[in-house]
Structure 1
Amino acid sequence: MNCRVVVEAAVPVYDVETADEAVRIAISKTGEMLNPDLNYVEINMGGRSCPHCGEELEPAFLAADESLVALELEMTVFNVERDEHAARIARKEIGQRLENIPLEVLEIEEIEEESDEDESDESEVVDETESDDVGDEPGDDNATGESSGEGEDILPEFEELIDE
């Protein structure tokens, strides 16, 4: 089973004057902490509401040039048995990169797996676009030094080994 998990994060931001500025800085700061390891996590503004009247509030609480911004981080977790398992994986993966930032799981949604027909339709589209390249040989991409996407996954791991 695959699940889409949405986690709320409370991101502190310092030396800001407006709520919009706080949100922009919080999204940027969170993106820097998550990338490149978790570049598949989507970052969105969170929603806040008044607990008494239910009125919608800005995602940033601003006081004394400091702000606490509510962000929603969304990721897909693959091959899990239960919703709780997906939530634990998402909190662990995101929490390791966002140290000292509280996280709360907001939503867990099971994603229906694509059928074999959908996958074969997609592969036909890819085959058609590849056949449009006249005169290209299958190995030409590697001869020119361009990567076909496979080497891009190897490079970050190689850089991690160098850092260690």
Structure 2
Amino acid sequence: MCSKLVVLSSIGLSERMLADWFSAVPQTSRKCGRKIASLKMTLSGSCLCGGIQYEITGPLTDVYHCHCSMCRKLHAAAFRTCAKVQASDWRTIKGEELLKTYESSPGEFKVFCSTCGSSIHTRFTEKPEVYALPLGTLDTDPGVRPGRHVFVGNKAPWYEIADDLLQFTENG
């Protein structure tokens, strides 16, 4: 297997996403080479009202379902599915003026749309280079899937986890 393919699959891209990437490469460059290594996937997302649109040009990592009470309240749901993304891979393409922040705990800032309230991402004082992205605002398939449930000790009592993913009482 091509070492570039191994690198791409190791960051959590699905087989379909990899196939789509390779089908976009001209036949002559399908061998392990620079063109394949330089390909970038662009993900796009938006808020409910469409006032904010963003793009992500790097990989999403550490995908998980969070059942903490803060995430449940913020998303009005049983849990939040999120991933980490490098801040340098994020670009707001529309609606920068609509982005508002709320400091939910010291050094943790929830960024949301001031018009519709959609949660856009979370930024951290301690790690400004990383955003936590709730996957619900993505308009494209990220090609990654959650690997675990965290804070299941705080999960909604009316929700039963029905998959085989690892479960952690706190942050795992």
Give the structure-1-normalised TM-score: 0.27
Greater relative contact order (CA < 8 Å, ≥ 6 in sequence): 1
**Which entry has the higher C-alpha Rg, 1 or 2?**
1
Q: Which has the higher helix share?
A: 1
